[in-house]
Amino acid sequence: MDTFHSFYIGLANILPFSAAGQDPFLFMLIGIAIGFVVGILPGLGGATTLALMLPFIYKMDPTTAFAFLLGSNAVTATTGDITSILFGVPGEGITAATIVDGHPMAKKGEAGRALGAALMSSLVGAVFGAFALALAIPIVQPLVLSIGSSEFFMLALLGITFVASLSGGNILKGLCTGAFGLVLATIGLDPIESVPRFTLDPLIGEDAALFLWDGLSLVSVTVGLFAIPEIIELSVQGSSIARRSSTGKLGGVMQGVIDTFRHWKLVLACSAIGSYIGLIPGLGGGPAQWVAYAHAVQSSKGDKDRFGKGAIEGVLGPGAANNSKEGGSLVPTIAFGVPGSVSMAILLGAFIIQGIVPGPDLLDPAKHLDLTFSFVWIIVVSNIITVAVCLLFLNQLAKVTFVKGTYLIPFLLLLIYLGGFAVNNAFGDIVMVLIFGAVGWLMVRFDWQRPPLLLGLVLGGIAENNLFIATKVYGGAFLLRPGVLLIALLIVAGLCYPMFQAYRERKRLERHEARFEVPGITKTVEVISRNERMANGIFALCFVALFAYVLRECFFGFGADEERAALFPLVIGLPAFFISAAVFAKEIMNTSREVVHGEEGVEEVEETSPEETRRRTLVISAWVVGFFVSIWLIGFVYSSLVATFLYLKFGAREGWRITIILTAVAYLFFAGIFDMILHLPFPPGDLFVWLGLD
Q: 96-112 pLDDT, tens per residue?
A: 567 777 777 776 777 77
Q: Which residues contact 533 (CB under 8 A, 6 or more apart)?
A: 587, 588, 590, 591
Residues 389 and 534 reside in one and the same domain = no
> pLDDT: is 40 or 117 the higher one?
117
- Separation of alpha carbons 623 and 114, rounded Å: 40
Total number of domains constituting the chain: 2
Across 33-57, average pLDDT:
70
Q: Is residue 347 part of a domain?
A: yes
Residues 582 and 457 reside in one and the same domain = no
Q: What is the per-residue pLDDT for 514?
A: 46
Q: Is residue 259 part of a domain?
A: yes
- Please provide residue 593's backbone torsions phi and psi, each rounded to the nearest 5 degrees: -150, 155
Residues 268-323 pLDDT 10s: 888 888 777 776 655 555 567 666 776 777 677 765 567 767 788 888 888 888 77
Q: Which class for 148: exposed (0-12), middle (13-18), buried (19 or more C-beta within 10 A)?
A: middle
Crossing angle of helices 149-166 and 313-336, rounded to 10°: 150
- Separation of alpha carbons 70 and 72, rounded Å: 5
Domain end, chosen from 439, 474, 501, is at 501
Q: Which residues contact 264 (CB under 8 A, 6 or more apart)?
A: none
Domain end, chosen from 569, 596, 623, is at 596
> pLDDT: is 593 or 222 the higher one?
222
Give the N- to C-terminal CA distance of the chain in Å, as an integer: 60
- Separation of alpha carbons 350 and 195, rounded Å: 27
Comparing 217-221, 357-361, 467-471, the range with the smallest average pLDDT is 357-361
> pLDDT: is 559 or 339 the higher one?
559
- Please provide residue 217's backbone torsions phi and psi, each rounded to the nearest 5 degrees: -75, 125
Residues 464 and 550 reside in one and the same domain = no
Q: What is the per-residue pLDDT for 241?
A: 38
Is residue 96 a contact partner of residue 286, using CB atoms and an 8 Å limit?
yes
Q: How far is CA 113 from the centre of its chain?
A: 30
Q: Does the CA dihedral 146-152-157-163 come out positive or negative?
A: positive
**pTM of model > 0.75:** no
Least Cα distance to 44 among 401, 290, 347 occurs for 401
- Separation of alpha carbons 623 and 469, rounded Å: 47
Is residue 328 a contact partner of residue 134, using CB atoms and an 8 Å limit?
no
Least Cα distance to 402 among 248, 250, 251, 252 occurs for 248
Q: What is the per-residue pLDDT for 315?
A: 85
- Separation of alpha carbons 324 and 320, rounded Å: 6
Judged by DSSP in three states, 204 sits in helix
Q: What is the per-residue pLDDT for 473?
A: 82
- Separation of alpha carbons 296 and 306, rounded Å: 12
Residues 105 and 201 reside in one and the same domain = yes
- Separation of alpha carbons 431 and 452, rounded Å: 22
Is residue 172 a contact partner of residue 582, using CB atoms and an 8 Å limit?
yes
Residues 113 and 177 reside in one and the same domain = yes
Is residue 654 a contact partner of residue 406, using CB atoms and an 8 Å limit?
yes
Residues 86 and 168 reside in one and the same domain = yes
- Using 50, 70 and 90 to split pLDDT, how confident is the model at 249? very low
Beta strands in 480-545 (DSSP E): 522-527
Q: Is residue 613 part of a domain?
A: no
Mean confidence (pLDDT) of the chain: 77
Residues 455 and 569 reside in one and the same domain = no
Q: What is the per-residue pLDDT for 563?
A: 81
- Separation of alpha carbons 19 and 500, rounded Å: 55
- Separation of alpha carbons 445 and 439, rounded Å: 10
Across 426-444, average pLDDT:
89
Q: What is the 3-state secondary structure (H, E, C) of 420-469?
A: HHHHHCCHHHHHHHHHHHHHHHHHHHCCCCCHHHHHHHHHHHHHHHHHHH
Judged by DSSP in three states, 592 sits in strand
> pLDDT: is 94 or 248 the higher one?
94
Residues 547 and 497 reside in one and the same domain = no
Residues 254 and 344 reside in one and the same domain = yes
Q: Does the CA dihedral 604-606-611-614 come out positive or negative?
A: negative
Is residue 338 a contact partner of residue 316, using CB atoms and an 8 Å limit?
no
What share of the chain in percent tops pLDDT 70? Answer: 76
Q: Is residue 424 part of a domain?
A: no
Residues 501-520 pLDDT 10s: 667 766 665 665 444 444 44
Residue 487 has pLDDT above 70, yes or no: yes
Residues 466 and 592 reside in one and the same domain = no
Q: Is residue 442 part of a domain?
A: no
Q: Is residue 511 part of a domain?
A: no
Is residue 206 a contact partner of residue 394, using CB atoms and an 8 Å limit?
no
- Using 50, 70 and 90 to split pLDDT, how confident is the model at 333? confident
Residue 343 has pLDDT above 80, yes or no: no
Least Cα distance to 576 among 547, 552, 549 occurs for 547
Comparing 90-104, 124-138, 234-248, 344-358, the range with the smallest average pLDDT is 234-248
Q: Which residues contact 167 (CB under 8 A, 6 or more apart)?
A: 174, 282, 284, 449, 451, 452
Residues 470 and 577 reside in one and the same domain = no
Cα 419-449-507 angle, rounded to 5 deg? 155
- Other CB atoms closer than 10 Å to residue 305's CB: what's the count? 9
Residues 536 and 572 reside in one and the same domain = yes
- Using 50, 70 and 90 to split pLDDT, how confident is the model at 492? confident
Across 462-466, average pLDDT:
82
Q: Is residue 644 part of a domain?
A: no
Domain end, chosen from 549, 574, 596, is at 596
Is residue 117 a contact partner of residue 322, using CB atoms and an 8 Å limit?
no
- The radius of gyration of the chain's CA atoms, rounded to the nearest angstrom, is 25
Beta strands in 492-636 (DSSP E): 522-527, 592-597
Q: What is the per-residue pLDDT for 660?
A: 93
* Domain of residue 36, residue span: 2-403+450-501
Q: Is residue 349 part of a domain?
A: yes
What ranges in 512-562 are assigned the alpha helix state H? 530-556, 558-561
Is residue 267 a contact partner of residue 260, using CB atoms and an 8 Å limit?
yes
